[in-house]
A and B are shown apart, each in its own frame.
Chain A
Amino acid sequence: MSKDDSIGESLRKQGISRRAFMKFCAATASLLALPPGMAAVMAETLSRARRPSVIYLSYQECTGCGESLTRSFSPTLENLMFNVMSLDYYETLQAAAGTAAEEARKTAMKENWGKYLLVVDGAVPVEHDGAYCTIAGESAVDILTEAVKGAAAVVSVGTCAAFGGIPHASPDPTGAVAVSRIVKDKPVVNVSGCPPVPEVITGVLAHYLTFGSLPELDHLGRPKVFFGETIHDRCYRRPFYDEGKFAKTFDDEGARNGWCLFELGCKGPVTYNACPTVKWNQGTSYPIQSGHGCLGCSEPDFWDKGGFYQALSTGTWSGGAVLGAAAVAGAAIGVGAAIVSRRRHAHSDKEKHS
């Protein structure tokens, strides 16, 4: 299969039927909440389009996003990689290593300059000239800066790439930042989550490949189609919240009955993601369905927003000394005021009787 083949030609060469291709397009259009007619448009566009080059860079990350990506079922990563796009560089999946791998990246960049899609996974450390993350002797920030120049668009996969994530958590010794802090002159879409829902990653890629543009984004640069509603609003446990039925511990009757996990620290009310609708492992489940509250992992700084098991309506502050000092100061001023008043009265009484 030649890189210059259109997607339609490459599919025909592999013996993939028109019917199977249409099913793929229908599934992807459905995932992106596009009107039914768009599946046909998508099929037409994709069959004539040349397979675009995708370069996938990994920095301060745990490979959880890559693990998630490989578990996408609709569309599958294999389908995307082999039929729709040309994944030219991805350290986790590629066979090449060392100099050969870096050469592959440089070649792909040169051949597709201005047209390739750059996918970034992980935060980028900028402290000490980016010394905390280097590949083949080059810092992550330098490689990213160079790769971005020839990219058509950038997709930040995972909360680390989107918002800095765990590497950015306090005290952030490496100066980890989000990709959007470095990339200023190219469109960036944030596919946040720790890890992101696999279909959300592939859905965004499919949208770009189909329409040549990024989907509509929210104020944090995330695709609205997947991040438009809170976990809480789409949660199947929401009726229990409204009824005032809450699990108090992870093994009480409420937990066994599937009641709301708000008291156990669920951050669903302030977390935007597609977990309750798309779910994981081919729509099998998601964290709340498995009995654990949402950690809010698709939101910025989720690691530093107080305890995971602390209810959302409680404070995240710590300041017993401040409260103690305020109480002592208040009491002292009150007692002082009363003493002054008593002295004035005593003085006044003395004057009356003298």
Chain B
Amino acid sequence: MNLLDFARGAAMKWSIAIFLFGMLWRLFGILLLRRTHDYSEPRVHAAGLGALQGIIRRSWPRREFQARTAYGVTVSYVFHIGLAIIVFGFVPHILFIRNLIGVGWSGLPGGIIYFCAVITLVALVMAIVRRLTHPVLKLLSNFDDYFSWFVTAAPVVTGLLAAAHYGARYETLLAVHILSFELLLVWFPFGKLMHSVLLFFARGQTGAVYGRRGAST
């Protein structure tokens, strides 16, 4: 068995199993927590609308903070959108998803994907440079922040290297790329990458509470 066989076989199986295990653990563990009863009279009854407003409005900084947060918000949006295009637009990735859950769709040309990957990587580098140089961010950051960045950036870097056939034989680069993604899967439920799921619950919950009270979300 070579490295690619390992990446496509046992490593993939166990990384998906750990991902599933961790995701369900975190989601059940958080969503089944007891909620504090709000005995006040609701001013607005459409709590769902408040939740939706909370998710949407908190995805963009308020006007008074825009100037201060413009760099972080822009860089974050660029690499999040870039990652989404790469993951859901590249045909080999779509085939992986289709093989796993049975749902597929049309992909984008390789050139667009490679362009997005380069932009994404630049944005990721800008994000980590800011984290390493900003005095407050630096103080707030811990291993989770840096390792989550690493497991996010690694598949982008290894994917670009595989596409360019740079640094090693293609099958080795492909294996390393798949393994780097599997590392991301393993880390995903247990680190800050979980924000990509939990943010909707967190913002929705806050939005629903504020909505019920008639406050601006």
Residues of A within 8 A of B (CB): 230, 232-233, 241-244, 246, 262-263, 269-270, 300-301, 305-306, 310-317, 319, 322-323, 325-327, 329-331, 333-335, 337-339, 341-342, 345
Can you name 28 A-B pairs with beta carbons within 8 Å? A232-B170, A242-B109, A243-B109, A243-B110, A244-B109, A262-B91, A270-B4, A312-B92, A313-B96, A314-B100, A315-B12, A315-B99, A315-B100, A316-B5, A316-B8, A316-B9, A322-B13, A330-B20, A330-B25, A330-B28, A331-B28, A333-B28, A334-B30, A335-B29, A337-B28, A337-B29, A341-B33, A342-B33
Given A243-B109, A345-B34, also A326-B95 (CB < 8 A):
no
Residues of chain B whose beta carbon lies under 8 Å from any beta carbon of chain A: 1-2, 4-5, 8-10, 12-14, 16-18, 20-34, 91-93, 95-96, 99-100, 107-111, 165, 170-171, 174
* Contact residues in A for B2 (Cβ distance below 8 Å): 300
The answer to whether A329 and B21 touch across the interface, beta carbons within 8 angstroms, is yes
Given contacts A314-B8, A323-B13, 16 further A-B contacts (CB under 8 A): A246-B91, A246-B107, A262-B92, A263-B95, A301-B1, A310-B99, A311-B92, A314-B99, A316-B8, A322-B13, A322-B17, A326-B21, A327-B21, A331-B28, A334-B24, A339-B32
**Inter-subunit contact A311/B24 (CB<8 Å):** no
Query: How many A-B residue pairs lie within 8 Å, measured between CB atoms?
Result: 123
Chain B residues lying within 8 Å of A317, measured Cβ to Cβ, are 8-10, 12-13
Contact A244-B28, Cβ < 8 Å, known A315-B99, A323-B16? no
A334 touches B95 (CB 8 A): no
Q: In the complex, which of the residues A301, A338, A345 contacts B32, with contact meaning CB atoms closer than 8 Å?
A: A338
Q: Could you tell me if B17 and A270 are in contact, using CB atoms closer than 8 angstroms?
A: no
**Contact of A242 with B26 at beta-carbon distance under 8 Å, contacts A313-B92, A341-B33 already known:** no
In the complex, chain B residues whose CB is within 8 Å of the CB of A300: 2
Report whether A335 and B28 are in contact in the complex, using a CB–CB cutoff of 8 Å: yes
CB-nearest residue of chain B to A337: B29
Interface of A, secondary structure class, is helix
A242 cross-chain contacts in B, Cβ below 8 A: 109-111
CB of A263, distance to nearest CB on chain B (Å): 6
For A270, list chain B residues within 8 Å (CB). Answer: 4, 170-171, 174
Tell me the minimal C-beta distance from A249 to chain B in angstroms: 13
Residues of B within 8 A of A316 (CB): 5, 8-9, 12
Contact of A333 among B18, B25, B91, B92 (CB under 8 A): B25
Inside 8 A of B26's CB, which chain A residues have their CB? 334
Q: Which residues of B contact A331 (CB under 8 A)?
A: 24-25, 28
- Cβ of A330 to closest chain B Cβ, rounded Å: 3
